[in-house]
Amino acid sequence: MAQPKVYVTRRVPTEGLELLKKSCKVSVWDSDDVVPKATLMEQVAGMDGLFCTISDIIDKDVLEAAGPSLKIIGTMSVGMAHIDARECAKRGVQVANTPDVASDSAAELTVALLLLTTRRLAEGIQAVKTGEWGLWRPMWLCGVESVNRTLGIIGMGRVGFGVARRMKPFGVSRIIYYDEFQAGYAADVGAELVDYDTLLRESDIICICCALTPRTRDMINASAFASMKKSAILINTARGPIVNHDDLAQALTQGDIAAAGLDVTEPEPLPSDHPLMALDNCIILPHLGTNSKETRINMATNTAMNITAVLCCGQA
């Protein structure tokens, strides 16, 4: 029997490709750049499986181009908003992501960005490079410590719990979280479930770790900033559209909150002329949440296993 055919939309860790090649005929867009849509539609025709990334828009046009042979789309990501799940369901195409393998990397990056922002480290690095660094000055580039602060986490899933667990040794006095559901394991870090307004009002540092849904889209807006402490620091490593960027720029400019650290934006990359790009109290990273060698290998192999489970074993 002929091997099932799989198209891979990006250059990915070889561990994932080698796993696929054991049981599938694999074609790869051998580039770090996004495959052009026209090329994707041409190459996906007649494929049994599609190995994609979060940057690939898998819409009705792509699914139509793939044809009835397509059985599984494996995305090398946690998020699946780039895939038209409803259209996939209509066509009987299974969709699989990698929810378990990136949590530690994302939580670690969240804590790193938190410290980078609260201690004003990026400003310090820039001061060294520009020659602003001089003799010791008592009031220069004073950040805030995490000790005795209230940490608020929006979304106590794997990443949110990972952030709470890592921040506990830093001496935060209280960990509170807002989620639609109470997380039983939150008790392991002494986290307290509160309502949304309480979290906004009482947190010194707010970490956004929830999924992007119609309910969470734009949830951090002008009204939310008005409820926060003026000394509050916002960290978003979840999804860009959860925060209204125009409202954030205004809040940071007029002192409604103290600072923000973003690993995700809307759009990505954020245009260089966006007001947030000019603010010293806004640290922006280029979506590095899962950028560790270990996590990327695990994501690639997990995606490959998802695809082969369907094509070779008949199960997701």
Active site residue 274: no
Domains along the sequence of the chain with CATH: 5-101+294-311 (3.40.50.720), 103-284 (3.40.50.720)
Contacts of 120 (CB under 8 A, 6+ apart): 141, 142, 143, 259
Sequence-distant (6+) residues with CB within 8 A of 196 are: 178
Q: Tell the burial category of 135 from Cβ atoms under 10 Å away from its Cβ (0-12, 13-18, 19+).
A: exposed
pLDDT values of the chain reduced to their tens digit, one per residue, 316 residues: 689 999 999 999 999 999 999 999 999 999 999 999 999 999 999 999 999 999 999 999 999 999 999 999 999 998 898 999 999 999 999 999 998 888 999 999 999 999 999 999 999 999 999 999 999 899 999 999 999 999 999 999 999 999 999 999 999 999 999 998 888 889 999 999 999 999 999 999 999 999 999 999 999 999 999 999 999 999 999 999 999 999 999 999 999 999 999 999 999 999 999 999 999 999 999 999 999 999 999 999 999 999 999 998 755 4
Fill in the amino acid letter for 271. P
The CA-based angle 301-209-201, given to 5 degrees, is: 175
Q: Could you tell me if 8 and 51 are in contact, meaning their C-beta atoms sit under 8 angstroms apart?
A: yes
Q: What share of the chain is helix, strand, coil (3-state, %, to 5)?
A: 40, 15, 45
| The residue to which tokens 């008790």 are assigned | 187
C-beta atoms surrounding 3 within 10 Å: 14
